[in-house]
Amino acid sequence: MHSVYHRYAVVVNVGDVDFPPVRTHTQTVRKFAGLDLANNFCLRYINDKDIVILGVRRVSPLALCINDDMCRMTTYFYIRRAPDGKRLGVDYQKPASRHLGGIGHLGLSTNGMIANNTVIFNETFNQLANVSGGGIFIGGQASLAPAATPRLSPGAGNVTVTNNLVQGNQAGAGDGGGIRVAFLNGLDVRRSATTPASWYLLNMYHNKVVNNTAGAAGGGISLQDTVKANIGKNTVANNDSTGTGGAAFAAGSPNQSTPQPAGIVSRAHSTLLYNTIGASSGYKVRYSNPVLTDSIVWHNRSFYWAIDNTTAPATFGLVPSLAGGQTAVYSDLAVLGTANQGTWPGYTNGDKLNPTNSILTSTAGYAGSNRSTAPSFVAQYFNGDRGQTIQQPELTTSVATAGAFDEGGNWITVRFGPLSLYRICLTPGSCPLYGDYRVQPYGGIGANP
């Protein structure tokens, strides 16, 4: 199902989320939200300001929204027209047990577009499941075949993600605090194992993915079973991976987690997908290896969680402890889960991503076209304790954690701030942004301002 979700009634300003059109309602929905309606949605008017869109089971386009009995609600959200008629707010309350906190492309719906959105301060968390994608989640559905005879996912279709601000979101129990893409490819590869031109493609351009957090890996972006992807002209900066998700704790180590990479992370392909990729296709690599170019991947921080039993009483929290004067550790790019996985925090001594013409915190081990000159953001900040004033930038405040020590699974929650785009000031409407990740002046390398 291709859909837009929203968490905790935090406003997401919806731009263009385009779906393959059907014969009915397309113009009506575009009038309100710039949306093309997929054939698994129907809508109803509430009044001249609100529309309720109901997610329904996939039925024939002819029956959809003609017979009200077909509108079996599975999820819903309200679209509120802004006073100026330009952008809309979305209010939605969904179960926390699923992937995605902000916007989701779930299942096969080819040629989808997620564009011109502000996706801020959303969260996905579940104590018993490793759910991912705090800001945006793109994923193919699992195969319906029995576990004893696994099959490939149908995939997610071609998807473009462009010109979005993805800021301050959290995947507290999994990967991809900003964006998670999983199982984009599957049966499309099996149908033409040596013809990649027919495979589904992810295009991700001109996005700002900043100040997001993940309990596992990829505070910024996480990829898995995504064979074909172009990631270019993006800013992925000041994201955090906290090492607080259950997956970050190695077996036999309940008191200390393993630090996780924080910027852009690629996980190993599932064995079935890797074995399906044709040897002559040019994509016979054991992990998602996007064309990664002209981007800023900068100062993404990596933490782990530990209990210190040397104090009385014992203390716990994130390490390094920035409030205690320890130095931040940056881990911008990584490949995880392969036999040749590199070592934290650089991960360049094994399988690795291949950025070109980009600004990186460290260029060691990467192409000579990259550079490590600090980008001149208009304004930036690091995540800190929600109750503290965040300076710009600030390295001495700490993200706070709380644990339910008598429970299992994902038993640590993370609190961070600021949960506002704007700093406090005395003149409403003129308060400066905490983070303005435009680059001034633009020097011709890295993400466009």
- Which residues does 209 contact at the CB level (< 8 Å), separation at least 6? 135, 166, 167, 178, 179, 220, 221, 234, 235, 236, 237, 239
Q: First CA to last CA across the chain, in angstroms?
A: 33
Which residue type is seen at 399?
V
* Mean pLDDT (whole number) for 57-76: 30
- What are the backbone angles phi and psi of residue 246, rounded to the nearest 5°? -55, -35
For 191-205, what is the mean pLDDT?
97
77 closest CA partner among 6, 130, 14, 27: 6
pLDDT of 198 reads 97
pTM metric for this prediction: 0.77
Segment 402-438, tens digit of pLDDT: 554 444 456 577 888 888 888 888 887 888 999 999 9
Question: Which segment of 21-35, 136-150, 236-250 scores lowest on mean pLDDT?
Answer: 21-35
How far is C-alpha 185 from the geometric centre of its chain's CA atoms? 18
Q: When comparing pLDDT for 444 and 231, which is higher?
A: 231
Q: What is the mean pLDDT of residues 21-48?
A: 36
Position 99 pLDDT exceeds 70: no
When pLDDT is averaged across residues 210-238 and rounded to a whole number, the result is 97
CA 215 to chain centre: 12
pLDDT score for 59: 30
- Domain map (residue ranges) of the chain: 1-94, 99-302+328-375
The fraction of the chain above a pLDDT of 70, given in percent, is: 69
List, for residues 272-299, the tens digit of each pLDDT value: 999 999 999 999 999 999 999 999 999 9
Does residue 84 have a pLDDT over 90? Answer: no
Contact by Cβ (8 Å): 342, 351: yes
Instruction: Give the torsion sign (CA, 7, 12, 18, 23).
Output: positive
